[in-house]
Copies of this chain bind each other. A is one copy, B any other.
Amino acid sequence: MPLVRCLPVTAPPPSLKDNTADLDRLKRALREGLGQGPLVVPWRWAGRVAANFREAGFSGAAIVNDGEGRLELVDFLPRPPAVLPGLALDLGTTYLEATLLDLASGRRLARGHHLNGQIRFGDDILSRIHEAGQGAGLSELQGAVIGSINELATGLARQAGIVPQEVRALSVAGNPTMIHLFLGLDPHHLCREPYIPLVNAPDLTAAWELNLALHPAAPVYVLPGVGSYFGGDLIAGILASGLDQGEKTAMLIDVGTNAEVVLGNRDWLIACAGAAGPALEGGVARMGMRAGPGAIEHLDIDPATLAISWQTVDNQPPRGLCGSGIIDLVAGLYLGRVIDQRGKFRPGADPRRLRRGESGLSYVVVPGEEAADGRAVILEQADLDALMRSKAAMYAILSTLAAQVGVDFAELSRICVAGAFGRHIDPRRAITLGMLPDLPLSVYQPIGNSSLAGAELTLASGAARSRSLQIMRSITYVELNVNQEFMLRFSGAKFIPHTNHALFPSVPVPG
């Protein structure tokens, strides 16, 4: 059952013999199709619903929200609208991404993204939490993100040929901090031991209460999270990947600021998160960047000639390297023996491109004359070191998690890779680096923005909303920061592909 439904209804008109009140008459007629659960008309909408019902001649379309433990009759229209729009939102720290769905047909009406207006209060979660503690900071942060959502909703509505006030429901997936700020709840304790959110599973609210520019009675559903680190965005990913429903064990990898990993099947789920992300998201390497125009997203080095070919996003002149580009580059450098097993440049390995500067050796990926703004794209040893840490962390996370439950990588039916990382990465190259397990490439499945996909599912289905709570209750979260085994595995993974090459039989020994 979607968060909101439009139900055609015709009631017998009142008479001296049937003087039931308007709202009770409407409820009585609706009940015939709805069964016996509680059906309420919230006071705020009662007058309008009754007036519309009467004006429409006691026949038309009722708008019914799926409340918690009850249905809420919130509007009445003379006839069913052409579409019943609902908004699914991935509420990210940096970007909001959303789709507008027609909940009557399931059709997608529009899709888009928008910068999170909170960015002016700081880039990362910690600075937002700090800001929320200053004076009116919390309400300013809430206002900023609500404003951004309203702008995004307005844009999507325009694409769909409607106004945002016609949007009848909202489902939101985000990390715990973003959810607290969205709801105007104090995030203070999220970043302080023992890291306790104010709420994991917020109950439904309505658009008018949050000043959202949607239909005021639109129910607002927020996907639940677990603890401070494991947000509704990841539960959305589990929903979208179907990890919680599979007979066979599978894995979900979502790389953002952190790498978040879930392992499991329909009987159990285990999850952890770790700092494997920055180098991969483009946040650490000097020439790193997001996968925007001019980012080198694919790159190839001929192991014999060391000749480079590359491809940029939108075919723009190269400006830098996004995560997948860095992985391709370092894998190519390794197979061409320009770097060694420890990820260090070999002096003299490629005299045309290796240069020695103040900070040691660096590698010219694209010379200035071919690059955007004449600024060469360079990989420095420090960037390489950062990538080595990231890739080692990633493999250590995956192998620690699997070891916790005694699962061998070879048992995995699928590894779903979410987001831009999943969309752009070439699993072959990641395996070469020893970042991802050495499995058949078909095991790796890019699943796109799974946070948004999960928000769409919960918008459209009560079963998905129940699943999200079930996942929240059943998932086991492993804390890696205090995990000794993780540190050992991390050290072992700081080689290409690994100190134990036998784990990566498909990766050739260079040269």
Contact = CB atoms under 8 A, between A and B. Distances in A.
Interface of chain A, main secondary structure: loop
Contacts of A193: 16
Contacts of A54: 189
Nearest to A225: B21
A197 B70 contact: no
Interface in A34-75: 37-38, 40-44, 46-47, 50-51, 54, 68-70
Interface stretch (A200-208, A246-254, A291-299, A333-341): A200-208
Contacts of A50: 185, 198-199
A22 interface: yes
A16 B199 CA distance: 16
A198 to B, nearest CB: 4
Give the 3 A-B residue pairs with the shortest CB-CB distance, closest first. A38-B69, A43-B205, A21-B197
Interface string A217-229: 0000000001110
A194 B22 contact: no
8 contacts: A19-B195, A19-B196, A19-B228, A20-B227, A38-B68, A46-B203, A47-B184, A47-B186
Q: How large is the interface on A (under 10, 10 to 19, 20 to 34, 35 or more residues)?
A: 35 or more
Protomer copies = 2
A315 B205 CA distance: 59
B202 A22 contact: no
Contacts of A69: 37-38, 40, 69-70
Interface in A176-192: 183-186, 189
Nearest to A184: B47
B43 A186 contact: no
A247 to B, nearest CB: 29
Contacts of A22: 189, 196-199
